[in-house]
Structure formats: C-alpha cells, structure tokens
Structure 1
Amino acid sequence: MPEFVNGLPTHVMVIHFLVVLMPLAVLGAVVVALWPAARRRYGWLVVAVAAVATALVPIATDSGESLKNRLPPNSQIDEHERLGNQLLWYAIPLLVAVVALMVVHTMGQRQALRWARLATVAAAVLTLGLAVAAGIHVYRVGDAGSRAVWDYVEDLPPR
C-alpha cells in the first residue's frame, strides 16, 4: 500500500472513512438490535457497513505505523497507536454479532422456528452490548489521535 496518496499520508485518508463508517456501524447495530422493523429493512446494510469498517481497521493501523515512523517520538501518538491496535478486537465481535443477529432473524422470518425468537433476542442483546463497547472505543481512539495532532493548537497565538 502506498504511504502517501496525492501527497497526504494514507493514514489520514483511511481514518476519515473509518471515522464515518465505524460510528455508522455502531449506530446501525443499536437500531437494528432494538427495532425489528429497521432490522428487516436495514439489517443487511448494517452488516455491510460493519464489514467495510472492520476491513479498514488493519489498513488504518498499518498506515498509522508507517506515519509514526516518520515522526519524532511522541507519547500521545504512542497512546493513540496502543488504542488503535485494540480497535480490531472491538470491530470483529461487533461484525460477528450483527451477522448472527441477521442470520437468526432471517431464519426466524423464513421458517417458523420456536427457538428463533429467543435466539433473536439474545443476539440483539449481545449486539447492543458490543455496539456500545465498540462505540466507546472508537471514540477513545479518535480522541487520542486528534489530541496527538491538534492538542497544541489552542496554545498558539492567533495571527
């Protein structure tokens, strides 16, 4: 993968997609977990968004490591990297839970399975919990990254 795209670090380009798609996946997961009508209509779209967001996480971490190697040592970047390296462990379970929710929901809709209702509720609860955890963690990663880049700007005098 190129380290730069049109003169900008690839990491900057990738994280802008990730910063939009991961919160959308989290929000979508919460909505389809709580609202059966939304689950029927948008559930597989949420799965697709969560899959793309999950696929972007390793690209973001790899490109971030390349960018870090070009910068002077910085404890804020180290913290952002530490948190960013954990994001995949939040994204994958969220994706699996949303897929499981949709599979169980779809099976229950197509066939009158007794256990499908209980399984759907269990998958919805699991999806909800994992979505909240992923949402909190993606916020922490983004906050650490933005602080590493912009924390000092407030102390600069205006021109």
Structure 2
Amino acid sequence: MTLVNGLPAHVLFVHFVVVLVPLCALALVVSAVWPKAARRLGLVLPVLAFVTLVTVPLTSHAGEWLERHVDSDPLVRKHAELGDGLLPWALGLFLLATAVWWTARRTPAPQSNTDGPRGGAVVRVAAAVLSLVVAVGAVVDVYRIGDSGAKAAWHDAFSKTATGHGD
C-alpha cells in the first residue's frame, strides 16, 4: 500500500509507528519489571508488540515508494537509512514481549511478600534489563528517524518570520 486517498501512505503510517513503538516499549518495561502487570495485560502485550512489528515494514515500504517519488536529497536519504534500522528494534520488542507474557502466564502469582528469594528472580531481572535496553533503543531510534524525516520534509518549506498572511 503506497497511497491512501491520493496521499502518500507513509505520511499516515508513520503516525502508527510513532505511537505504537513507545507504547509497546512502555508496556514491555512495566510488564518485565512488574510481573503482576504482565499477568493483568495478558495477551494484550504480545498482540500490541506484533501489531507494532507489522507497522514498521508497512511504513518502511510506503517510505521507499515515497523516496522514489520525491527529488533526491541528502536529508531524505539519511531519513531512509535511519528508517531501515527500526525493524530489528521492533522485532526485539515483539520477542521480549512474547517471552515476558509467556513467563508471566506460566509463573503463579506469589501468595505473599514473605517468600524468600526465588530462582525466577534472576530471569526476571535479566528480562527487565534486556527489556529496558531494547525499549530505550527502539524509542531513541524512532525519535532519530522522526527528527530526520521532519527535517527532510520541512527544511526549506517555511519562513522563520511571519509572512503577514492571515493577520
């Protein structure tokens, strides 16, 4: 899909990525750090991560089409190069979200806080740290891609001083 209602689909799809990646990253970190949240979210966590994963190549494909239909520009090329790097982060979010969900559903909720250290604590800490790293990486990457896309789209398209229209 490259056009939506006559407009480049990338311009629409990018909004899904900008919302879903940080939302998925936040849900993943909260679920990895707080197992009760993972149990409460249930299947929503991996489904959200899967939808996020699917939107990334859709948006990239639409962006590649758009790149071929605009003038060649170093800012556009930089944006496209950065955009190519988001898929591994989205895949990492999906794999970790699935692992956190699977672990949470297979681990019974603790009956009290007086239980001693559990063997699963090391796994939970590792999952939390890995989730935090991937979540931060994905969100930073989305920011960098979006910033470069905004610069590519707007670099000579407006005046820093008011033009007097609409006064």
Structure of larger gyration radius: 2
- Please indicate, yes or no, whether the TM-score normalized by the shorter chain is above 0.5: yes
2:87 — aligned with what? 88
User: Which 4+ residue blocks in structure 1 deviate beyond 3 angstroms?
Assistant: 114-117, 154-157
Higher helix share: 1
2:113 — aligned with what? none
Identity of aligned residues (%): 38
Match of 2:135 among 122, 131, 134: 131
> Cα RMSD (Å) of the superposition?
2.0
In structure 1, the gaps of 5 or more residues are none
CA–CA distance in structure 2, aligned partners of residues 5 and 60 of structure 1: 12
1:115 offset after TM fit, Å? 3.9
1:155 offset after TM fit, Å? 3.6
- Relative to structure 1, the CA distance from residue 26 to residue 154 in structure 2 (aligned partners, 3 Å threshold; closer, same or farther) is farther
Match of 2:124 among 120, 126, 134: 120
Structure 2 contact 45–101 (Cα < 8 Å) conserved:
no
1:102-113 equivalent positions in 2, closer than 5 A = 102-109=101-108
Alignment pair present for 1:143 and 2:129: no
**Matched length:** 156
CA–CA distance in structure 1, aligned partners of residues 83 and 45 of structure 2: 22
Letter in 1 for 2:74: S
Structure 1 contact 108–117 (Cα < 8 Å) conserved:
no
1:58 offset after TM fit, Å? 0.8
1:124 offset after TM fit, Å? 1.9
1:1-159 equivalent positions in 2, closer than 5 A = 1=1, 3-109=2-108, 115-152=119-156, 153-155=158-160, 157-158=162-163, 159=165
In structure 2, the gaps of 5 or more residues are 110-117
CA–CA distance in structure 2, aligned partners of residues 135 and 14 of structure 1: 17
CA–CA distance in structure 1, aligned partners of residues 16 and 54 of structure 2: 11
TM-score between the two structures when normalised by the length of structure 2: 0.84
Structure 1 contact 104–119 (Cα < 8 Å) conserved:
no
Q: Which moved more, 1:135-144 or 1:29-38?
A: 29-38
Q: Deviations over 1:40-99 (max 9, x none)?
A: 212532222111111111111111010111100111111110010000011111211121
CA–CA distance in structure 1, aligned partners of residues 93 and 60 of structure 2: 18
